[in-house]
């Protein structure tokens, strides 16, 4: 029975966020205080990417949800609210609301 490989670093999710092969994210995008600005940046990154494996909306939303889930209890409540608002803004930008 094959064992799954455990990442050697505790911060593997930060590395995924920084070095995602699918999207070129602006530095600090998930720390911004403006949900619409975050959504616009994610949309621009997803639309411009030629390396993503899915449609732009799904790639952008996946990266945002990944960050929210991986930050977990370490994410400040006010920033968590902003990021959830960014999800709604992203849906609006892609006409999915």
> How confident is the model at residue 56, as a pLDDT?
94
pTM across the whole model? 0.79
> How confident is the model at residue 36, as a pLDDT?
98
pLDDT, tens digit (0-9, with 9 covering 90-100), for 46-82: 999 888 888 999 999 999 999 999 888 889 999 999 9
- Average pLDDT, integer, range 4-24: 61
Proportion of the chain above pLDDT 70, given as a percent: 77
The set of residues, in sequence order, having a beta carbon less than 8 Å from that of 64 and lying 6+ positions away, is: 30, 38, 42, 83, 86, 87, 90
CA–CA gap between residue 31 and residue 33 (Å, rounded) = 7
> How confident is the model at residue 43, as a pLDDT?
96
């Amino acid at each position: 029975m094959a064992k799954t490989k455990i990442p050697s670093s505790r911060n593997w999710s930060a590395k995924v966020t920084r070095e995602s092969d699918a999207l070129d994210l602006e530095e600090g995008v998930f720390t911004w205080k403006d949900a619409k600005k975050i959504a616009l940046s994610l949309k621009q990154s997803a639309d411009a990417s030629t390396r993503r494996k899915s449609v732009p909306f799904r790639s952008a939303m996946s990266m945002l949800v990944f960050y929210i889930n991986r930050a977990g209890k370490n994410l400040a409540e006010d920033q968590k609210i902003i990021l959830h608002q960014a999800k709604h803004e992203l849906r609006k930008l892609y006409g999915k609301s």
